[in-house]
Chains A and B, each alone.
Chain A
């Protein structure tokens, strides 16, 4: 029976992701992982790309994973879980296994949008029954805050440092959720730990759908974002409310915005608390704030128009 998505019921459910791991204080990733694992109502096998999550949860002879877990390399979590899932299908077909198992891969944005991109795209195209979850903290945080293709415009990182000749990252981030949706997979979604019921509902939906699924989840990193250790949830909420990180899903080609902010806040509300964007608030860099806002506005506009394509005639929205 499904555990209802309320705190009382969930707090009584045994957890598959144990405490005692060595993720940084205030990190968003273990919060995200805990929510994902709590949402799962079936036996789950997990693959993990190399990264903060992997390295901090599997320091031998301890493991935080109370469910089967495999880490192979940085760029191959999707191919690895695809191999596990293929063996599962083979053994199931041969009558050698009876469990009804779900397969989840976790990767950071570097392991997913950059080095693991080909592996992920291949696994999605082949149609494996897997759910790939990217926890996006917007840089290579594990190796020391280097830029990734998911790093937002303007961010100060260790490989695009703000200096006299460089105002931070000059490119907009790669929109991985849309790229995954373009694979015409049955389910692609974007979620945030600030909206935990929305997140867990999306995970449950993904795990109930057969075929390849992708969920991109924003995951604040106080080390890389240059923020406090107690504001991961607040920041991820601001990411949603500024429409920097809209919450939506694309199910069988139909786009639905799952949480529409009551009032869209200016992007600077999300950027201002973060040290990585501090330079953007200098008067000479006003153009950067404008460019970033313009990009978010255009993306939000596009997403709303995309949703409208699927609104049935006669409905109010």
Chain B
């Protein structure tokens, strides 16, 4: 029997980590992810896990220690946000290049300057091309479920790559939600145990991790990494299917909401998808065919599948919770545009930048976007490809 619990996103993540029982956790405090390690350190301090804690002096060292621990041979998890992820950036490539299945929760938070602790996706978007798997969560339930599945995905023999589970800072990390957790035994059985194939601690077969690869072979290593990434979507789906069988909750590479016959659609990730779904329901009640696509697996990005899911829509707004400065569009928009580029039939696309630095995303913003899309379907021209919404125009 699943049980109903009331918990914050951070508590949900920490409990997923408890059930996965990593051999080592190495972390450094940063708002809003800190609380995950508060909970988890409590589990470690009370023998609820077998985990050895390594409380590092920086995120750089926390990730470095995760790399050392994962290479040594065992399950490894951590959590961070914002500046912490930025400080880890150098090591993120090393973790993935060494094929170390570290699982990391990322409570999405804005980057400095100006310093701000509110939610946006600038941190994990900045790390989207570092060879890690990225899963995004709409709410605490999804954060919990994604975290459980992330261990299975990252450690899968066809993958062996690190994975980030992203949840919106404060909005999801600190809000109490009611959710369903699996029975302990079922969750533990699902996460299983992890066996490193070439552990550094195997003294009988000494391995050299992190050698110098010169220009004669470097590109082949990069291509191999790309090929491994291409196998990830299938594993993500297989793990989700297995999870559905024990939990009754369905997950895919992305979620389509009332999209099948939609004329206008919003593409948005994480918590903003929940608000948007409510507004879409209101429009549907008025007889307007509105829909939503919410990417879950953002890296690797399921280009083909998303292209096929969106190609029939007449007008699509992609809502980015981060920006790529300098006249380019937000990263999610660029990926959606890429996914549709090989479709002959495709929607008109616009990009909206929203919710930076913890700015609330309100139903009114979704309505504003849907109304604009409806005008586009009636032949109105696109006046601006990228536009900030929910911003004080007079102030900037």
A residues with a Cβ closer than 8 A to B are 43, 45, 47, 54-55, 58-60, 63, 65-73, 75-76, 78-91, 93-94, 97, 99, 101, 118-119, 121-123, 125-126
Contact = CB atoms under 8 A, between A and B. Distances in A.
A122 B57 contact: yes
A100 to B, nearest CB: 10
Contacts of B66: 83
A123 B74 CA distance: 20
Given A76-B91, A82-B68, A90 B74 contact: yes
A97 B201 contact: yes
Taking each of A78, A84, A101, which has the highest tally of chain B beta carbons within 10 Å of its own beta carbon?
A84
B365 to A, nearest CB: 42
A93 B50 contact: yes
Interface in B243-268: none
Contacts of A121: 57
Nearest to B91: A73
A97 to B, nearest CB: 6
9 contacts: A68-B207, A72-B209, A79-B64, A79-B68, A83-B54, A83-B64, A86-B54, A87-B69, A126-B55
A72 B23 contact: no
A57 to B, nearest CB: 9
B210 A87 contact: no
B68 A87 contact: yes
A241 B65 CA distance: 39
Nearest to A123: B61
Given A63-B211, A72-B91, A73-B90, A82 B65 contact: yes
Nearest to A74: B90
Interface in B2-55: 23-24, 26, 50-52, 54-55
B202 interface: yes
A85 to B, nearest CB: 8
B52 A87 contact: yes
B206 interface: yes
B83 to A, nearest CB: 15
A85 B207 CA distance: 16
Given A47-B68, A101-B203, A71 B57 contact: no
A296 B211 CA distance: 39
A14 to B, nearest CB: 13
Counting chain B residues whose Cβ lies within 8 A of the other chain, the interface size class is: 35 or more
Given A82-B54, A83-B69, A119-B64, A55 B212 contact: yes
B61 A122 contact: yes
B206 A69 contact: yes
A88 B201 contact: yes
Given A83-B54, A119-B61, A71 B210 contact: yes
A197 to B, nearest CB: 27
Interface in B163-209: 200-203, 206-209
B94 interface: yes
Given A82-B65, A83-B65, A89 B52 contact: yes
B351 to A, nearest CB: 36
A86 B64 contact: no
A70 B201 contact: no
Given A73-B64, A86-B54, A68 B203 contact: yes
Contacts of B26: 83, 86
Contact of A79 (B61, B73, B74, B212): B61
Nearest to A60: B211
Interface string B356-372: 00000000000000000
Interface string B203-240: 10011111111100100000000000000000000000
A67 B206 contact: yes
Taking each of B200, B207, B217, which has the highest tally of chain A beta carbons within 10 Å of its own beta carbon?
B200
Given A59-B211, A80-B65, A94-B23, A87 B201 contact: yes
B210 A72 contact: yes
B217 A90 contact: no
A84 B203 contact: no
Contacts of B94: 72-73
5 closest A-B pairs (Cβ-Cβ)?
Answer: A83-B68, A122-B57, A83-B65, A87-B72, A79-B64
B54 A126 contact: yes
A94 B75 CA distance: 13
Contact of B71 (A84, A122, A126): A84
A65 to B, nearest CB: 6
A82 B202 CA distance: 17
Contact of A88 (B55, B67, B72, B207): B72
A69 B57 CA distance: 24
A207 B74 CA distance: 25
Given A68-B203, A83-B26, A84-B71, A58 B61 contact: no
Given A73-B91, A75-B60, A122-B58, A59 B201 contact: no
A91 B74 contact: yes
B56 interface: yes
Contacts of A123: 61
Contacts of B208: 58, 63, 65, 68-70
Interface string B77-97: 000000000000011001000
Contact of B57 (A59, A87, A119): A119
Contacts of A86: 24, 26, 52, 54, 65, 68-69
Given A73-B91, A73-B94, 5 more contacts: A60-B213, A63-B208, A79-B68, A87-B23, A121-B57
